[in-house]
Structure 1
Amino acid sequence: MFEIIKWPEEMVPSRCPIHFTNELEISASPETIWSLLTNTKAWPQFYPSISQVQLLHGHETLQMGTEFETSFAGQDVFASVQEFEPYIRIAWGGYPKVAEESKAYHAWIITPTPGGCHLWTEETMRGPHWVELAKQAPDGFWRAHERLLADLARVATALEASVRQS
């Protein structure tokens, strides 16, 4: 299998102590999934533990280079969009504000299917802050992303159903 994520060198899976993937077949179009992933105002509907997202420098949706701050599961995080291929892939990398040396890189790959799309998400994390959190709940990050995918699928299919009914 070829590598489809354009990992920053320091964040490739073989160099990170935390690496996990999650995937799900979703009965919603790549366009609907993309619209939800790039509209951070929609994130609280499906992103577990997101309390706020602030796009910086006047951006209204995510695009290549967009910088943003968010609070995720009690962690204040700074991130920027580092991959942006509409309807196909998006990735952001960043760090918790309390530990800038601890980095994370989160990628999304959307593949059209006859019934909607296949959504793959992959994340790598390195640095003492993330490692300590992982020690407290070894499968916590993976489980949070399983819930994230299920909630995103629920919101996307409901959105498409409401559009069809209008």
Structure 2
Amino acid sequence: MFEAINWPEALAPNRSPIHFTNDLEIEASPETIWSLLVDPRTWPTFYPGVEHVQLLDGHESLHLGTRFETTLAGQDVFASVQEFQPVTRIAWGGYPRASEASRAYHAWIITPTPRGSHLWTEETMQGPLWIELAKQDPEVFWRTHENLLAALAKVAAEGDNRAG
């Protein structure tokens, strides 16, 4: 159905104590979903816990190699775009400022469907900060991404309805 994610070897699923996937059929075009993912100014409208996003390379949207800072899961996070295939896939990797030893890699794959798009997101996480959060609530990351997909679907469908 889609290409494999280009995991950095150190963050591959078989090397990561935290690995989860979420997916959802969305009644919105791949282009609309893509436009939301690459424009961090839109993230607070659908991304749980995002309070701000600052691009560090003078870009107005995400591109391959773009570095950014944001707040995710209550943590100030530094990340950079590692994969970038317009309208089909994007991935970023990074770490929380409070624990540079705690790494994460988050990938998105968008596939067109007859009714809109299939959106797949997959993440691996390692390191003491993420492991401690997972011990407190083993489903927290998966559940947060379920909420993220539902909110993204709603914002994307509303955007398609306005455009159509």
Shorter-chain TM-score bucket reads over 0.9
Write the mapping of 1:27-106 to structure 2, written as runs, cut at 5 A. 27-106=27-106
Write the mapping of 1:1-166 to structure 2, written as runs, cut at 5 A. 4-164=4-164
The secondary structure found in structure 2 opposite 1:145 is helix
Q: CA deviation at 1:73?
A: 2.8
The secondary structure found in structure 2 opposite 1:79 is strand
| Residues 28-63 of structure 1, C-alpha deviations (whole Å, 9 max, x = no match) | 000000000000000000000100000002111000
Match for 1:19: what amino acid?
H
TM-score (structure 2 length as normaliser): 0.98
| Residues 109-147 of structure 1, C-alpha deviations (whole Å, 9 max, x = no match) | 000101101000000000111100100110000000000
Structure 1 stretches of 4+ with a deviation exceeding 4 A read none
Identity %: 67
Match for 1:115: what amino acid?
R
The secondary structure found in structure 1 opposite 2:40 is coil
Backbone CA RMSD of aligned residues: 1.1
Q: CA deviation at 1:74?
A: 1.7
The secondary structure found in structure 2 opposite 1:62 is coil
| Residues 43-88 of structure 1, C-alpha deviations (whole Å, 9 max, x = no match) | 0000001000000021110000000000113200000000000011
- Report how many residues are paired: 164
